[in-house]
Structure 1
Amino acid sequence: MHAMQYSFTLPAAYDMDVVRERVARTGHLLDDWPGLGIKAYLMRERGVHGSPVNQYAPFYLWHTAEGMNRFLWEGAFQRPTDDFGRPSVRQWTGLAYEEGAVGDAPARVAVRRRQPVPEGILLSQVAAEAVRETERLAAAEGALLAAAVVDTGRWELVHFSLHADGVPDGAQGEVFHVLHLSEPERKRLPRGRQW
């Protein structure tokens, strides 16, 4: 499993209905993309759930690297870059993935928590804790799924979860509104730890 995210931070006075309408018009285009586990079309609005910015920031879990590379290099990624500019695309390697109890419910909210992998701690301990946290997040009431991914270039760990019923109690991290969820190969994403 591979994770990917890019974001477009928009001006404070930007009309976020433009983003909503864009996703409503084009979100379905990846509903059958080969190799894509999920694409969550995510948006934050300044002043909502503590967000300091207006931002469009889709998050992907890829079943195959080929699907991800095809998206980036064969034209689909060109559409948003033509409209908003070419963003930096973050990529992470999967550590764990779990389905939640309400996996078939519509996704309403996503939570992304980024944290550094601390020095002086066994990497196996970090990975084991990431697996346990993924299980905990997926078991939360209203959870659709949870994943833990890592960028070993920056030694950054990311916990990502989708929820059906709004922001979960005690949520830690940045909260996003889910505008659309494409999930053509979600059932093929490997569950549990990724090694």
Structure 2
Amino acid sequence: MHAMQYELTLPADYDMGIVRGRVARVGHLLDDWDGLGLKAYLMRERGVNGSPVNQYAPFYLWNTVEGMNAFLWGGAFQGLADDFGRPSVRQWSSLAHEEGGAAGSPARTAVRRRRPVPEGVRLAEVMADAVGEVRRLAGEDGAVLSAAAVDTGRWELVHFSLWGHGTPKADGDVFEVLHMSAPGRDRLPRGRQW
């Protein structure tokens, strides 16, 4: 499993209705994308849930590199790049994924937390802690799913969770989920990934 995200930070006075409309028009195009575990179409608005910015920031969990590459190089991503400019695409290798107790509920909110892996720590312990956090979050009331991944080029951990109802029990940037394409979600590997 691979995690991927790009962020389009938009002007403070940007009409976020444009983003909502775009997702309503094209979100379904990845509902059956080969190799995609899930794509959460995420947005945050300046001043809502503590967000300092207007941002469109989809988050992906891929089952296959081929599916991810077909998305990036095969034309689907080009439409976004044509409309908004080509964003930097972040990628992380999977550490863990768990379905939550609200897995059958529609995801309404997502929380993403990125943090550096500190120097001088035992990597096995840090990664075990990340797996434990995935399990903890998945066990919280309202959790749809939880995942963690690492970028070993930057030594950065990312924790990602989806929530169906109530207040998320996770720290980080809070996003509204506009749509979710999940053609291969049932094939995403669960538990620790090593």
- Where on the TM-score scale, by shorter chain, does this alignment land: which range? over 0.9
Which one-letter code corresponds to 1:42 in the other structure? Answer: L
Q: In the aligned structure 2, how far is the partner of 1:89 from the partner of 1:53?
A: 19
| 1:85 aligns to 2:85 (yes or no) | yes
| Residue 167 (structure 1) shift | 3.1
Report the AA paired with residue 97 of structure 1.
Answer: H
Name 1:8's counterpart in structure 2: 8
> In 2, distance between residues paired with 1:26 and 1:87?
18
Aligned length: 194
In structure 2, how many angstroms separate the alpha carbons of the residues matched to 1:163 and 1:123? 29
Listed as ranges, the gaps of 5+ residues in structure 2 are none
Could you say which residue in structure 1 is the equivalent of 2:187? 188
Q: Deviations over 1:3-55 (max 9, x none)?
A: 00001000000000000011011100000000000000000000001100000
Kept in 2: contact 1:109–1:166 (CA 8 A): no
What is residue 155 of structure 1 aligned with on the other side? Answer: 155
2: CA distance, partners of 1:31 / 1:193: 26
Residue 102 of structure 1, CA deviation: 1.1
The code of the aligned residue for 1:86 comes to: R
Alignment of 1:4-83 (within 5 A): 4-83=4-83
Answer whether contact 1:108 1:166 (CA < 8 A) is retained. Answer: no
Identity in percent = 72
Q: TM-score, normalised by structure 2?
A: 0.99
Aligned to 1:178: 177
Alpha-carbon shift at residue 187 of structure 1 (Å): 0.4
Secondary structure of the corresponding residue to residue 77 of structure 1: helix
TM-score, normalised by the number of residues in structure 1: 0.98
* Aligned mates of 2:40, 2:191 — CA distance in 1: 20
Cα distance in 2, alignment partners of residues 94 and 177 from structure 1: 23
Q: Deviations over 1:80-129 (max 9, x none)?
A: 11100000000000000000011111110000011110111110001110
Structure 1 gaps, min length 5 = none
Question: SS of the counterpart of 1:136?
Answer: helix
> After TM superposition, where is structure 1 displaced by more than 4 Å over at least 4 residues in a row?
none
1: CA distance, partners of 2:168 / 2:35: 29
State the alpha-carbon separation in 2 of the partners of residues 30 and 93 from structure 1. Answer: 21
> How far off its partner does 1:166 sit?
4.2
Change (3 A) 1:44 1:166: farther
